[in-house]
Structures are given as structure tokens and as C-alpha cells.
Chains A and B, each alone.
Chain A
Amino acid sequence: MKKLLAIALALVMVFALAAPMASAEGKTVINVMSFTDEVPKMIARYVELHPEFAEKYEIETTIVATTDNGYQNALDAALANDEVPDIYCAEAAFVLKYAQGDACAYAAAYEDLGIDVAAETEAAAIAPYTIEIGTRPSDGKLVGLGYQATGGAFIYRRSIAADVFGSDDPAVVAEAIGAGTQSWDKFFEAAAALKEKGYAIVSGDGDIWHAIENSSDSGWIVDGKLTIDPKREAFLDLSKELKDNGYHNDTQDWTEAWYADMAGIGEKPVFGFYGPAWLINYVMAGNSGGSAPGEGTYGDWAVCPSNVGFFWGGTWVLAGKNVPGTDKAEAVADIIRWITLDASEDGLQYGWANGTWSGEQGTKDTVASGVVMDKSNGELDFLGGQNMFEAFVPANEYANGSNLTQYDEGINNYWRDAVRQYTAGELSREDAIAAFMQNVADNFDVEVDF
């Protein structure tokens, strides 16, 4: 027994020491860091398509999951220790930190890589909000761009629209919810009309939160001070109104009950969801209770413009500050250009928009380049054959990146909890706001005026 253990231990040590190190064989190594294998797979595809590139460069990929802040911890440690990856990714929830906030100094400006930013973004008609978010305020230079565009629209059930509003035409529903009015008045009129026939307008208050959050005029922090934008404060009242009147099923996003409402098997049938194109592909289609028209709610959906403009999610690609001036600057620029700026049919975005980028028939999505959007087809069976790009492309114009801050993820958590406490009657309106402000004061390096 003891000998066995000793042998096992010795083997363990040998294995541990003999950690295989990939030899680069004279190739230049490009380090990539990401939180999923989405971007690494794109880069692998790029290398596959460009054999001459593969001869000169070797891609070293590091993927760390976002679980428990793991990705940010690992990336931050690498940045702080001057092991800045050559290419790294950031999700909408934390991109501000890397593009505009505490860690923005570690990113290289796209122009320093040799990218003609003004000309190329214009040529591809890149959605302005993605540029806005990827621009570093300290020097006004672009440091990150995405490939998706995540402008949001209202995704509704055709059968319910026909029942309540007399037609399932997107134009009719757009009118009913007050599309483009930047207000919630018509929305609540529609909610009342839907309730009369036994429908809920949305699944839970989380559904309107993303729209409200991104349509506000200022973010949570202005000049280092906590600011509660009136539109965000109104979420308290809107949320209360929804709950008190029974206009929703009182679900929380990303829980069973929320998914059930997509399949139409919740307490009351739910009319619609606010979201970008990925919500359809990643979440709603699979949860519709079917995979072909006629099954579950599949095929019974359509998209119309939202009453307030917003975007939700997206991944930005950044280059490390040490890249410019080295022999890999051009290669890194080529990869970034192919992913974020190439509007041709050989670029990533065309394949991404049409669901063909990895060869097989994948899901369609909206992308950052307006040029690509114009020549792509967004027809989906899930939407009864509607071309979803009709609604999503204009939505990108309303999206705006100026009301985001790098602490949003944490602050939103406190705010949504305070609102839930208020709507549940556990806290008064004042107490809910006070509890929220106390949380921000105690947990962030932010000034709070009580």
C-alpha cells in the first residue's frame, strides 16, 4: 500500500514536471485571451483560410470562464504583470473597464496597428454605439470593436397580436407599443388591453429593465458621483405598476418561469420580450417548445421596433499595448480587421450574419457592419419567415454607449434587488432608494450624496 502510494506520487511528480511546452519552431507567437472559444474559433478559421499566415504565426490561446470573475481576475493579473495578451476579448458587461476604465491603458489604439480607423469604420458602416464604447476617452482613440450588433427590438407573439390588436403586422404592433416614442405610456395602454384578454405583456420586470437601463440619459456615475437618472428611477414605478396590475407573470430573467413563458406555458400567455437578435437564436428559439413552425410557439413570433432604444450584450476585441511596433503588429491588425471591419463576403461578419461562417448552417445574427447587414438575409422560420434585420438594423441607431459605466454589473444587481423589495412591499420607495445608495457607498469607490 505504502509502496504503491510512493510510486503513484513519483509518477505524479514526473508528469507534473514534464509539462509539455509547445515549441514555436521559429514562428512568431500571438497570444489570445478570451472567455469563450467563440473568438479563438474565429481566429482558427482565419488561420485556416490563410495558409501563408499559418506559416509565419502560431496562435496561443488562453480561455478562462467568466464564472466567479475568473476571466477578469486572470486577465487583470496578466495585464498588471505586463504579460498583456496580443489580442483579448471583453463582454459588454465589463468592456468599459478595458476600453475606457481602469484597464484602458493596456489596450493598443487600432490606428497604431496600422488600421485607418475613420475610413475603414465608415466603409463598413459600423454601428456607431460599438465605436463609442470601444473608444478610449483619455486620448479619443479607438481600442476595441465588436462583430455583433446587439441593438434590441420587441419580439412578440403573432397570435396574441392578432387577437388583441387585430393584426400580427409589425407596423400595427409597433404603433400599439409606441415604437420610437422613447416613452412607456403606450406600452401600458397596450398592457391593459392585453390583460383584458388574459395576456401578460411581458414575462417579468427584467424584460423592461434592459430597455430602460440603456435608454437613460446618464449612467450610474457622473463625475465620480452616484447619479440616479430619472428614467432609471422610473423603473421603480413602472415595475410596481406592472406587478400591481398583474401585467406580467412576475418572473425573473434567466429562471425556469421566464423560459416557460417563451414556450407559452407560463401562468398567463406572454405577449413579448425585449431583446437583440441573439436572444432569439440563443434563448428563445430553443425554449419555444418546438423546432419547426407549428410546434410550441415556434413560428408564432415577429419583431417590431422597440418603444425605447437599447442594446444588450456583445463582445469587443482589443489588442495589447505591446503589439504596435513589433513584427506581429501587422498580423494582429489583419485578424482584428477580418473580424471587426471586413464587410466583404469573405469577412467574418458576412458569414456570421448569414449563419455560414464555420461552413455549416448556423444561426443568423445581426453584425456591426451596416454594409454586411444590407446584403444579408435575416429571414427566420422562427419569426414566421420575417426578415429580422428589418427591425434590428434600425435599432442599432438608438443604442448608445454613453450611459454605461464600468461598475454597471454590480450596481445593477443592487438596484434590481431594491426595486424587487419595493414592488414586493418589503421596503417603501424611499427606503429602497436609500438601501441602494448605501450599498453603492459601501461597495464602490463612488461618492454618494444621501
Chain B
Amino acid sequence: MDNTLQKKRTFSYAKYGYLFSLPFFLAFLIFNLYPTLYTILLGFTDSKGLGNITFHILKDDPWKNFRSILKAPTFALSIRNTFTLWMMNFIPQITLAMLLTAWFTSRRNQIRGQGFFKVVFYMPNIITAASVAVLFNSLFGYPKGPVNDLLVSMGLRSEAFYFMNFAKPTRWIVAFIQFWMWYGYTMIILVSGVLGINPEIFEAAEIDGASDRQIFFRITLPNLRTILTYTLVTSLIGGLSMYDIPKMLNNGNPNNSTLTSTMFIFNQAFAGSYMYAKGAAASMILFLIIAFFSGIIFFLMRDRK
């Protein structure tokens, strides 16, 4: 009796689940279904060339584009670069963001001016990536540029260093820009996640005499799990589709060391030969890679209770 009543109740509320997600779904159907399906279809066609709307589905060899992308050494390189660049910026980024979160949400050690710091740290994210890239390009200019002028005048180097002509420094610059643009963003999300935790839990822990460190690792972090999942997954997606900064800083140079997979896709589909089909195939491969790693994150961060 009790059981059926409950069933009836959940059933009657279920329709709101559908109803409330309807606008989202409609907007998807209207504005995104066509482009998405179109992209998937393109991967199996011979579509190329500007304005060439007519194309043929590759009936004899549907996986031709996929094979040719997987065989291209430049694509493999771009995937490796993307991962390297992502790791180089994400590890310091999440570490610093966590550290700042711990400092700013510590209830004992009130940091004065933390409101100001929180607001200011997000600000690099307000400027467009293009302006940031231009700024850093001139900062590291060769043979004249503020960084080189500084290095030479301080006697650290006898002559100017051509940062953007060497793979490692260029990668570090790209990674640093990404790190610098996004650690504040990540911190804001984590801080608001902590603010969303019921304060009574903290109060109880304090009464029990837990140290700051204990509170952070035993209470804050476990309660941040869902938010951390969000941060990890979106950083992964954002990181693996990194485009603006490496593109505008040095166009993937030197020697393709900062060529990311999205840049590769862009080159296929839009620059030069307009190989839409190959670009679409490459983006589906990239999609599978992202989905695979996101799946791992979801698995690792799952609720073990």
C-alpha cells in the first residue's frame, strides 16, 4: 500500500523532469542537431573544396577519411602536443587553485583582502585570448623585447634568446598563458563549491578540534567531489580543444611543437584546401579521445558510497 502510493507520487513528478528539460532539448533540436549530424555525415563523404555543397557518401570505403587522418604523422603529433600542453598547464593550475581555495576558505586563518584577490585572479580570463597572445608575443620578442632586454641587462644572458624558435620555451610559454588565464576561473568554481557546503559540517568539525589540514582533506575535498568532477572534465575538454593561444602566439610553430589537434582540424577544414570531410573525421576521432578520458575521470570520481 505504502509502496504503491510512493510509486504513484514519483511517477507524477517524473513528467516535470521531461517538462523542465524540454526547452534545452528543443534549442538543441532547432540550432544544433543539424550542424552536429551534418558534421558526422561529412566524415563519411568526399566533401572538399569551397562552397562545394554536393558530395558523395563513400559507399565502397566509408572509413577512408578516418584512415588517412590516423595515418598522418602530423595528426598524431598534434594529439601528443595537446596532451603535453594540457598536462603542463593543468597540473600547476589545479594545484594553485586548490591551494588558494584552501587559503581563502580557511575559517581560522582569515586572509585579509581575500575578496580583492579572488576578484582579481579571475581577471586574466576577461581579456580575449587574441590580445593575450599578442601581449606575450611581444613580451618574448626577439631580438628585442622586454624579457630579452631584462635578461641581457641583468647579465643573465650575453645575447638575446629567440624563445619562439625553440620547441621547449614556446611550449612553456603556451602552458604558462593557459595556466595564468585559467587558474582564477578554476579557483572561483572551487571556492563557490566550498561555499555551497553546509557550514554546520565545518562547525561540527571545529568543535571536534580538527586542524585546518584535516578539515580540508577530510571534509572540504570529499564534499567537493561533484564540483571537482566538473572541473576535471571541463578542463579536459577545454584543454584538448585548445586553439586560440597556440594559434595566435606562434601559429603552432616552431616545427609544429605547439600544433594542437583543434588547430590541425582547422587546417584541414578551413585553411587552404577546405577538406571538410577529413576535418570532420578528425574531429570525431578527437571526440572519441575526449569521451574516453572523460569516462575515466567519471569512473575515478564516482560516488563510492
Chain A contact residues, CB within 8 Å of chain B: 67, 69, 73, 76, 79-80, 97, 102-103, 106, 249-252, 255-257, 260, 266-267, 406-407, 410-411, 413, 417-418, 420-421, 424, 426-427, 435, 438-439, 441-446
Contacts and interface: CB of A to CB of B under 8 A. Distances in A.
- Give the interface size class of chain B: 35 or more
B279 to A, nearest CB: 11
24 contacts: A76-B51, A79-B51, A103-B50, A106-B51, A250-B142, A251-B142, A255-B137, A256-B141, A257-B141, A257-B145, A266-B143, A266-B144, A413-B251, A417-B253, A420-B254, A426-B167, A426-B255, A427-B255, A442-B72, A442-B75, A443-B271, A444-B272, A444-B273, A445-B48
Interface in B263-293: 264, 267-268, 270-275
Given A250-B162, A257-B142, A443-B271, 17 more contacts: A69-B270, A76-B51, A80-B50, A80-B53, A103-B51, A255-B138, A256-B141, A266-B143, A410-B271, A410-B272, A417-B253, A420-B165, A420-B253, A421-B254, A424-B162, A424-B166, A442-B74
Contact of A97 (B50, B74, B251): B50
Given A256-B138, A407-B272, A438-B74, A76 B255 contact: no
Contact of A256 (B49, B145, B273): B145
A443 B165 contact: no
Contacts of B143: 249-251, 257, 266-267
Given A76-B50, A80-B50, A445 B254 contact: no
A199 B116 CA distance: 52
A88 to B, nearest CB: 14
B267 A426 contact: no
A435 B167 CA distance: 14
Nearest to B248: A68
A78 B40 CA distance: 23
A257 B144 contact: yes
B14 to A, nearest CB: 28
Given A407-B272, A438-B73, A443-B272, A424 B138 contact: no
B144 A260 contact: yes
Contacts of B75: 442
B162 A102 contact: no
B256 interface: yes
Given A251-B143, A410-B272, A424-B162, A443 B51 contact: no
Contacts of B138: 255-256
B188 to A, nearest CB: 21
A446 B253 contact: no
Nearest to A445: B273
Contacts of B267: 410, 443
B255 A102 contact: no
A441 B71 CA distance: 11
A426 B166 contact: yes
Nearest to A204: B143
A421 B255 contact: yes
Of the candidates B72, B74, B167, B272, the one having the most CB atoms from chain A within 10 angstroms of its own CB is: B272
Interface string B132-174: 0000011001111100000000000000001001110000000
Contacts of A255: 137-138, 141-142
B271 A102 contact: no
Interface in B45-71: 48-53
Contacts of A411: 272
Nearest to B138: A256
A67 B131 CA distance: 12
Given A106-B51, A439-B74, A445-B48, A417 B275 contact: no
A427 to B, nearest CB: 7
